Structure 1
């Protein structure tokens, strides 16, 4: 049974690693953005502020996997109704812990980029830091997007 718990725990780590959030970089695109026209505006970076992009808490992978692992671990404790109670408590605690693990695993370093567009308009865009490189004040950039979905690139 200990072997089963180890296999389930290893599976949980593997699944959580695979659910890492896709990059919110200026150079990454979701499938729904491919082939869609975007407006292009040019401007200059005025300031950059490091920010933290919260991790996901809506996924069922972390809480579901944690609940399974916690339930299996709880089932190893006691006997009879005590075992049932330990299984339920283990599943609930595992679900909560799994959700926190998923949130921490998907948290990202971001940057708030304040831009003065060539037309004089000032805007701010938050996006993930790519390869540890922040934009710098004075950088000439492009702002790409449509509607509320904008990204900054060189």
Structure 2
């Protein structure tokens, strides 16, 4: 197997693996580095409703650029002369579009919209990814809010 062929097929595999590493967990039991070791306010309440949702994936330049590189590499292996140049450019454009779409699809998450009636009478809605916790209607929960305004629901 030629070195160019190995590179041509290993680059897409490495990029797909890198994209799966970009998925940021948004569940109630995963904390970002910024929220660790910070005082957070806690309110108690009762779950009034639950609804499954999809949390959109990210579209950063990483997906588009990576796809363009892979598409350009694949296109450069087609034909020769002007045809090769056109295939390289077309592959880069198509790869950029595909890379962006792949990144968005890979980083999408299943989520849950949790409506909580707080003990103070206020009703709040929080969307978080489906993590290790299972919630049910009428369940007592904690709503934890970080200084930056992000909130999460955890079993109370």
What TM-score, normalized by structure 1, do the two folds share?
0.91
1:65 counterpart residue number: 66
Q: Which runs of 4+ in 1 moved over 6 A?
A: none
2:91 counterpart residue number: 90
Residues in 2 aligned to 1:134 and 1:61: alpha-carbon distance in whole angstroms: 34
Residues in 1 aligned to 2:105 and 2:12: alpha-carbon distance in whole angstroms: 17
> Which of 48, 51, 61 is the equivalent residue of 1:49?
51
Q: CA deviation at 1:80?
A: 1.5
1:127 counterpart residue number: 128
Residues in 1 aligned to 2:5 and 2:143: alpha-carbon distance in whole angstroms: 54
Q: For structure 2, which runs of at least 5 residues remain unmatched after alignment? A: none
Pairing of 1:6-85 with structure 2 (within 5 A): 6-19=9-22, 21-57=23-59, 59-85=60-86
Contact in 1 for aligned 2:71/2:95 (Cα 8 Å): yes
Secondary structure of the 1:50 match is strand
2:117 counterpart residue number: 116
Deviation string, structure 1 residues 60-82 (Cα, Å, up to 9, x no partner): 22212211110001101121222
Q: For structure 1, which runs of at least 5 residues remain unmatched after alignment? A: none
Residues in 1 aligned to 2:29 and 2:42: alpha-carbon distance in whole angstroms: 14
Q: CA deviation at 1:5?
A: 0.9
| CA-based RMSD | 1.4
Deviation string, structure 1 residues 93-148 (Cα, Å, up to 9, x no partner): 101101111111111011111111111111111111113x5421111000001353
Residues in 2 aligned to 1:97 and 1:134: alpha-carbon distance in whole angstroms: 35
Contact in 2 for aligned 1:111/1:134 (Cα 8 Å): no
- Equivalent pairs, count: 151
> Which of 2, 5, 19 is the equivalent residue of 1:2?
5
Residues in 1 aligned to 2:78 and 2:151: alpha-carbon distance in whole angstroms: 52
Secondary structure of the 2:53 match is strand
Secondary structure of the 2:34 match is helix
